[in-house]
Amino acid sequence: MKNIILSSVAVAVLLLTGCSSNKPTVDETNKEAASTKTQPVEEVSSVQTESVSSQGVASNDTMKADSNEMTMANIESTMTSVYFDFDKYAIRQDMKETVTKDADIAKAAASAYSIKLEGNCDEWGSDEYNFALGLKRAQTVKTELVNEGVDAKRISMVSYGKSAPVCNEKTKECWQKNRRVDFKLLP
120: helix, strand or coil: strand
165: helix, strand or coil: coil
C-alpha span between 115 and 92 (Å, rounded):
21
Q: Quote the pLDDT of residue 175.
A: 95
> How much is the CA Rg of the chain, to the nearest whole Å?
45
pLDDT band at 64 (very low <50, low <70, confident <90, very high): confident
Residue 41 predicted with pLDDT over 90:
no
Q: E strands, 87-148, where? A: 114-120
Strand order in the sheet with 155-161: 82-83, 180-186, 114-120, 155-161
For 37, other C-beta atoms within 10 Å of its C-beta total 7
Residue 45 predicted with pLDDT over 80:
no
Q: Quote the pLDDT of residue 49.
A: 65
Helix (H), strand (E) at residue 16 = helix 2-18
C-alpha span between 100 and 103 (Å, rounded):
5
pLDDT band at 158 (very low <50, low <70, confident <90, very high): very high
pTM listed for this prediction: 0.66
Residue 46 predicted with pLDDT over 60:
yes
pLDDT single digits (tens) 100-128: 999 999 999 999 999 999 999 999 999 99
Burial 121-143 (b: 16+ CB within 10 A, else e): bbeebeeeebbbbbbbbbbbbbe
As a whole number, the mean pLDDT across the chain is 83
Reported residue count of the chain is: 187
Q: Which residues contact 157 (CB under 8 A, 6 or more apart)?
A: 116, 117, 118, 119, 135, 138, 139, 142
pLDDT single digits (tens) 6-22: 666 655 555 555 555 55
